[in-house]
Structure 1
Amino acid sequence: MTQIKPYRLTASQARHEICSGNLTVEQYALSLLSRINGRDPTVKAWAHLNPDLVVEQARNLDRIAPEDRGPLHGVAIAVKDVIYTKDMPTQHNSPIYDGSHPRVDAASVAILRQAGALILGKTTTTEFAATLKGPATCNPHDPTRTPGGSSSGSGAVVGDMQAPIALGTQTGGSTIRPGSYNGIYAMKPTWSSISREGQKLYSLILDTLGIYTRSVEDLQLLADVFHLEDDEMPDTNFDVAKSKFAVYKTMIWPSVGPGTESAMEKAVQLLRKHGALVEEIEFPMELQDLPEWHLTIMKADGRTAFLPYYRMAKQDMDPLLIDHVEDVWKVSHAAHLTAFDNISMARPKVDKILGNYAAVLVPSVPDEAPVGIASTGSAAFNGIWTVMRPLERVPLPSKKIN
């Protein structure tokens, strides 16, 4: 068996060890459960975890013949507790859904299971993944600080090596922010809306699935499983010394703190040290209201997204969600449509600007993770990129996946 404690392995490393016969899925699962048992009293990142079910899954995976194993065979994955899992409750951190068992997998979870993944459990979130009020989860690197939100538990378990991969979601900054605060890789692909068995939990336009890992190789592994493909193959001869990069501080830059400012400066210095050309860019004036367009859509879509819960159990809802339904911001239908139109106008312009560079460096958070867990921190730097994704809506599957 590998000399590294199994829980410390990245997903790609664990997959290699299992495929090589150096590690069984059960041994791997037991190592992760031991890590969780020792750390969860401090980090508090799990909304639901059934060790017996984890071991049972692991043993079933070990029984599969090598030739029948999927690309994620035995890889452990944690799932944010707003994404349906047929054998675990999905509770949205809301008393309205306390103990709720939908008995069906979300499409993302179904794909992961079919690929051979070991679904560990459900991770904590803010209420309906839509408030700034944090759950009890702490930052694994400093328990006095927030792990970010709303994908609080997913970011924390990957950052603390309790799981190599976790699923999150993003409507504002719920994938990007915990990625930064927990020191891990966070990817928010430009997918269409998330389906939770015929429902859209929040914004029809802004909701996306997110992925957390501790290595770029693991991001590629998940991208392959989810068939995330670009129009062009990546350049296998890519050389930093011959490439052009951009720095875009964004229109939110006045909100930046010393930690982020220093990190951006260091990134530029490192690129230039390795021979890269780095330019600072600005968006044209007609795009300066991108953050406001994002907020307009989020506020307006929240009216209908939370209306059922408002009618059923207003007394059990966070005040912010009630504000959405009662439209305290007075977002008009005209303003809502104008925001859509402006974003549609902005996308090709942004694509043209960013397409001139190998990569563009932008801030992900105002500063280091704030002290305290009452709030998950500011998503101010995230909304621009959440809204810069396709606006199309795809048909929902009519048949359940059991």
Structure 2
Amino acid sequence: MHSRSERELGSGFPAVTTPLHALTLRAAANSIRAGELSSEAYTRALLERIAATDANVQAWAYLDPEGALAAAREADAERRAGAPVGPLAGIGIGVKDIVATLDQPTQLGSPIYTGARPAYDANCIERLRQAGGFVLGKTVTTEFAFIHPGKTRNPWRAGHTPGGSSSGSAAAVALGQVPAAIGTQTNGSLIRPAAYCGVVAFKPTLDALPFQGVNVFSPTLDTLGVLARSVADCALLASCLADPGGIPGDVEPIGRAPRLALLAAFPWVATSIEQEWAMHAALATLRDSGAVVTPVELAEAWHDAQRVHRMIMLYEGAQQMRDLQAREREQLSAKLNAALDEGREFGDGAYHAALARRDILIAAITEWLAPFDAIVAPPASASAPADLTHTGDPSCCTLWSLLGFPAVSIPIAVADNGLPLGLQLAATAGADERLLAVAQWCEERLAFKGLL
């Protein structure tokens, strides 16, 4: 007899032993759309998986199992009544807890907002629902999506950080608690936790996905993105959140081996030997498959990018949170208070000079990358640190966040310490479709066994 957590629906369909929670987003949606699987059965399997695996990881800031099952039953009823079935077909998605949701609290990783319920959905949640999906639950974020960690632990080793700030989203996807999740990135908040947790993250071009209704820290840098266990699933979810035609839901094969620039390290952070060797092995495999890989270095004139990013981020964060900090300083972490205090020290002139410098860097690096389909680089300097008091170094993600360029992280190896390592790919603004195609080409050639 098969359990409810196995894909088995009705006498007309053969039993399949793949656990339901291990289905990809695309496979689950296709099965529900075809009538082979009910949204209720799939949602129940996810909730059972959460109950079985979350005690040591704590990926969820808010979860209402009965509410999730009710949403699933509603999706099933609508489908049986002949309503159009959207591409997400009754699938529950994890949502970072800085994204406004009408039916669930949005607590921003802060005691200041414990139990807070917005009276509206963020634009991306409206689009999620229009595509047939629903909010399974709210995933843990760092405090205001900055650096003070939440309760989530790394799903591979609970004594290590999952990364941040999209901590719960990455951990939940890695464990099969949810097929995909929504996150955000201002510095390294999608790419780094994906690398630490052994999943795929896609940070689209700045503003490719709507940010309205998401808590703002830095208007210039904040970017909505997605996490899943494959490039194809990231593309599917992102396409549902984007403007029509903005990001394709189906990744078209690139049709040839890609031209890749290789940035082996960033000048502002040292890369560990384990990360270097993992990338070396991965790139050897890609070369053997025909990829043209050209080593490059960041021009010395561009080495100020990290400083420029920090100035913009902290100045804007201080402006955004000025009134809240004045009112609730004692409720904010020491790390956040220090960062906001630093941001207030930057004058308007220095901030506007940083914005102008960003424009120059965008133009220069766009031209630099023109001969390539994508650039590959480490997504993090090493595997996840054994320290739950911080979320690791985001510096490998800073450049693409500053420029607003799309980036993807794919898992490529497991280090000697049993933790995953990734590969980051980036492209110029607007080249999301090409970047996804290149990332999928690489993913298909780089074997990786995750936690499922």
C-alpha distance in structure 1 between counterparts of 2:144 and 2:297, whole Å? 35
**Number of aligned residue pairs:** 385
For residue 56 of structure 2, give the secondary structure of its aligned residue in structure 1: helix
C-alpha distance in structure 2 between counterparts of 1:195 and 1:244, whole Å? 32
For residue 327 of structure 1, give the secondary structure of its aligned residue in structure 2: helix
Q: Alignment partner for residue 61 of structure 1, among 75, 80, 100?
A: 75
Do structure 1's residue 34 and structure 2's residue 48 form an aligned pair? yes
For residue 209 of structure 1, give the secondary structure of its aligned residue in structure 2: strand
C-alpha distance in structure 2 between counterparts of 1:57 and 1:271, whole Å? 43
RMSD, matched Cα: 2.1
In the TM superposition, residue 299 of structure 1 has moved relative to its aligned partner by 1.4
Cα displacement string for residues 241-268 of structure 1 (whole angstroms, at most 9, x for unaligned residues): xx42110134336511112111221122
In the TM superposition, residue 196 of structure 1 has moved relative to its aligned partner by 4.8
For residue 249 of structure 1, give the secondary structure of its aligned residue in structure 2: coil
In the TM superposition, residue 355 of structure 1 has moved relative to its aligned partner by 2.3
Alignment check: 8 A CA contact 2:314 2:343 kept: no
Q: Which runs of 5+ in 2 are unaligned?
A: 1-7, 9-15, 406-452
Alignment check: 8 A CA contact 1:272 1:278 kept: yes
In the TM superposition, residue 292 of structure 1 has moved relative to its aligned partner by 0.9
Alignment check: 8 A CA contact 1:138 1:144 kept: yes
In the TM superposition, residue 324 of structure 1 has moved relative to its aligned partner by 3.6
Moved more, 188-197 or 361-370: 188-197
Counterpart of 1:101 in structure 2 is: 117
Counterpart of 2:287 in structure 1 is: 272
Do structure 1's residue 46 and structure 2's residue 63 form an aligned pair? no
Q: Alignment partner for residue 218 of structure 1, among 233, 243, 261?
A: 233
For residue 92 of structure 1, give the secondary structure of its aligned residue in structure 2: coil
For residue 68 of structure 1, give the secondary structure of its aligned residue in structure 2: coil
Alignment check: 8 A CA contact 1:306 1:324 kept: no
C-alpha distance in structure 1 between counterparts of 2:155 and 2:312, whole Å? 33
Alignment check: 8 A CA contact 1:80 1:168 kept: yes
Q: Which runs of 5+ in 1 are unaligned?
A: 391-402
Counterpart of 2:316 in structure 1 is: 301
Correspondence list, 1:3-402, <5 A = 3-65=17-79, 66-131=82-147, 133-192=148-207, 195-197=211-213, 201-225=216-240, 226-227=242-243, 229=246, 236=253, 238-240=255-257, 243-252=258-267, 254-327=269-342, 330-389=345-404
In the TM superposition, residue 52 of structure 1 has moved relative to its aligned partner by 0.6
Moved more, 78-87 or 295-304: 295-304
Tell me the percent identity. Answer: 34
TM-score w.r.t. the length of structure 2 is: 0.81
In the TM superposition, residue 194 of structure 1 has moved relative to its aligned partner by 5.9
Counterpart of 1:395 in structure 2 is: none
C-alpha distance in structure 2 between counterparts of 1:251 and 1:24, whole Å? 47
Residue type matched to 2:366 in 1? D
Residue type matched to 1:314 in 2? R
TM-score w.r.t. the length of structure 1 is: 0.91
In the TM superposition, residue 223 of structure 1 has moved relative to its aligned partner by 3.2
Moved more, 352-361 or 185-194: 185-194
For residue 345 of structure 2, give the secondary structure of its aligned residue in structure 1: coil
Change (3 A) 1:234 1:92: closer
Alignment check: 8 A CA contact 2:267 2:298 kept: no
Alignment check: 8 A CA contact 1:252 1:381 kept: no
C-alpha distance in structure 2 between counterparts of 1:371 and 1:194, whole Å? 35
Change (3 A) 1:237 1:48: closer
Alignment check: 8 A CA contact 1:126 1:135 kept: yes
Cα displacement string for residues 16-61 of structure 1 (whole angstroms, at most 9, x for unaligned residues): 1111211100000100000001111111010000001000000000
Change (3 A) 1:125 1:312: same
In the TM superposition, residue 359 of structure 1 has moved relative to its aligned partner by 2.1
Residue type matched to 2:206 in 1? W
